[in-house]
């Protein structure tokens, strides 16, 4: 194993800010439509250029023109070890500049933060990956195991044009990968000045996006009309949107809540965990969504003229199922909407869960503690989804580990897909140091 210095060389911690800024300035908005999504090819070419500058070859693969992902491999010193996949996506969700304090694609640095769409989701980690590898190439450092780097397209719309495309069309690139790290994990939750929990993602909920459709008899808007598709749809959507599914405590969530209850000195009732979750502060938003299946209406579509009753109305429901509960959730939704509403999947990817143990977890913990003596790594479940669902199809054991030490008062979860997304500069530099230690020691 390569001898590790006490801290990463200044070049990596300084360069990560520049790399992240450059990536933020590339508009990689993913609208979910190939015709209007932009910038992924440009971002992949930027990554390829930065790797080529230090002698790393890479391959760009397009699912369709412009929807580009990049893969590269850093050889390790031990050919008997399996490879580790380190992945980050290049696309971002849309941003309305009128709502932001700074332009969302400015990459502006102010008040100790780097601002821009993608700052935490997840161009910060893309920049960390690049900074560490570029520093290794300049200094001659090598990891023990091969590191496969993947910078993907389309994660924000289900990964069909990105990670799933790579899994289906280029699985050979990942044939010897047994473990992976990516978003969203390794970030701090401050208990006090001497103790911070670092949440490592070992599970994430499934994606079960549904389209509900109601059909009725069209007619003039001035008539009395008992067979109105809009009315039927709205009643069904309201039933789904107001429903609270029963609490189910998975091993990951139970483990996190036990850790949190211990350090916070609060009681945890497994039958009513919401009492404890309510005391977690801003992080309660994420944790509270992982104790049950959820279903949130997000879009409605009906009609073509104000005085015409349409024959069809549809809605999109963003459903998230706990690992192993996708079928149960479908049954629950069907019961809520009734027999007359059609239901089809827009996107369906099952939840995943692994255990919080093994040499990889030990290496994460060691790297965190080396940079923060008050670090206490704990497992948690992400309420959203990531590219891990694609890699899991290849039998790869996936973790969310994007290390960041955050200010105690920062509402981190609100930054994801939110207004004024930003990452603390010192947290970004902390992440490079931790990632460097981890990748050398895993």
Assess whether pLDDT exceeds 70 at residue 5.
no
Active site residue 91: yes
Active site residue 111: no
Looking up tokens 């104790």, which residue turns up? Answer: 291
In this predicted structure, what is the pLDDT of residue 10? 58
Assess whether pLDDT exceeds 90 at residue 4.
no
Q: Which tens digit of pLDDT belongs to each residue from 263-308? A: 999 888 888 899 899 988 888 888 999 999 999 999 999 999 999 8
Angstrom CA distances, 212 to 295, 320, 345, 357, stand at: 12, 16, 9, 41
Q: Which tens digit of pLDDT belongs to each residue from 164-215? A: 999 999 999 999 999 999 999 999 999 999 999 999 999 999 999 999 999 9
> Span 245-263, mean pLDDT?
93
Tell me the fold of 206-349: Alpha-Beta Plaits (3.30.70)
Bridge partners for 62 per DSSP: 68
Boundaries of every domain in the chain: 10-203+352-441, 206-349
Class of domain 10-203+352-441: alpha beta
Q: Which of 108, 135, 146, 155 is catalytic?
A: 155
Nearest CA to 157 among 418, 420, 417? Answer: 417
Q: Is the dihedral of CA 323, 325, 327, 330 positive or negative?
A: negative
In this predicted structure, what is the pLDDT of residue 134? 96
Residue 441: which pLDDT band, with cuts at 50, 70 and 90? confident
In this predicted structure, what is the pLDDT of residue 123? 97
Element (H, E) at 355: none
Does residue 122 have a cis bond before it (omega within 30 degrees)? yes
| Gyration radius of the chain's alpha carbons | 23
Assess whether pLDDT exceeds 80 at residue 7.
no
Nearest CA to 194 among 441, 374, 419? Answer: 374
Could you tell me if 362 and 200 are in contact, meaning their C-beta atoms sit under 8 angstroms apart? no
Q: Which tens digit of pLDDT belongs to each residue from 292-348? A: 999 999 999 999 999 988 999 999 999 999 999 999 999 999 999 999 999 999 999
Could you tell me if 236 and 242 are in contact, meaning their C-beta atoms sit under 8 angstroms apart? no
Q: Which of 15, 91, 154, 353 is catalytic?
A: 91
In this predicted structure, what is the pLDDT of residue 384? 87
- Report residue 110 as tokens: 């102010």
Length of the chain equals 442
Could you tell me if 406 and 188 are in contact, meaning their C-beta atoms sit under 8 angstroms apart? yes
* CA–CA separation, 210 and 227 (whole Å): 23
Q: Is the pTM of this model over 0.85?
A: yes
3-state secondary structure 242-297: HCCCCCCCCHHHHHHHHHHHHHHCCCCCCCCCHHHHCCCHHHHHHHHCCCCCEEEE
Fold agreement (10-203+352-441, 206-349): no
Q: Which tens digit of pLDDT belongs to each residue from 117-161? A: 999 999 999 999 999 999 999 999 999 999 999 999 999 998 999
């Amino acid at each position: 194993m390569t001898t590790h210095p006490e801290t990463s060389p200044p070049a990596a911690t300084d360069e990560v800010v520049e790399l992240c800024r450059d990536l933020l300035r590339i508009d990689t908005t993913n609208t979910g439509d190939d015709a209007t999504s932009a910038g992924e090819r440009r971002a992949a070419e930027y990554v390829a250029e930065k790797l080529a500058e230090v002698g790393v070859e890479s391959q760009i693969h397009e699912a369709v023109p412009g929807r580009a992902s990049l893969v590269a491999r850093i050889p390790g010193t031990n050919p008997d070890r399996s490879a580790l996949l380190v992945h980050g996506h290049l696309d971002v969700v849309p941003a309305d500049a009128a709502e932001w304090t700074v332009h969302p694609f400015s990459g502006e640095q102010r008040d100790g933060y780097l601002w821009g769409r993608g700052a935490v989701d997840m161009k910060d980690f893309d920049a960390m990956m690049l900074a560490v590898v570029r520093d290794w190439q300049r200094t001659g450092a090598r990891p023990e195991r091969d590191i496969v780097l993947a910078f993907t397209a389309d994660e924000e719309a289900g990964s069909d044009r990105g990670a799933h495309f790579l899994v289906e069309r280029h699985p050979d690139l990942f044939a010897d990968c047994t473990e992976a790290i990516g978003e969203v994990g390794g970030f701090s939750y401050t208990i006090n000045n001497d103790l911070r929990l670092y949440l490592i993602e070992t599970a994430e909920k499934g994606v079960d996006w549904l389209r509900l459709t109601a059909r009725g008899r069209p007619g003039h808007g001035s008539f009395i009309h008992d067979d109105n598709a809009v009315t039927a749809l709205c009643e069904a959507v309201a039933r789904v949107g107001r429903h609270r599914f029963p609490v189910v405590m998975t091993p990951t969530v139970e483990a996190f809540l036990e850790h949190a209850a211990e350090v916070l000195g609060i009681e945890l009732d497994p039958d009513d965990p919401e009492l404890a979750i309510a005391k977690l502060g801003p992080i309660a938003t994420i944790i509270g969504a992982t104790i049950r299946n959820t279903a949130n209406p997000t879009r409605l579509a009906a009609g073509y003229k104000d005085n015409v009753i349409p024959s069809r109305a549809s809605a999109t429901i963003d459903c998230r199922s706990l690992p192993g509960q996708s079928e149960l959730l479908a049954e629950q939704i069907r019961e809520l909407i009734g027999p007359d509403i059609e239901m089809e999947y827009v996107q369906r990817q099952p939840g995943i869960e692994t255990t919080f143990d093994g040499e990889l977890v030990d290496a994460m913990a060691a790297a965190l503690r080396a940079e923060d003596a008050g670090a206490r790594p704990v497992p948690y479940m992400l309420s959203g989804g990531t590219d891990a669902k694609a890699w899991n199809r290849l039998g790869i054991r996936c973790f969310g580990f994007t290390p960041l030490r955050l200010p105690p008062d920062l509402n981190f979860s609100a930054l994801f897909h939110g207004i004024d997304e930003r990452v603390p500069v010192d947290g970004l530099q902390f992440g490079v140091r931790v990632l460097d230690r981890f990748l050398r020691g895993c």
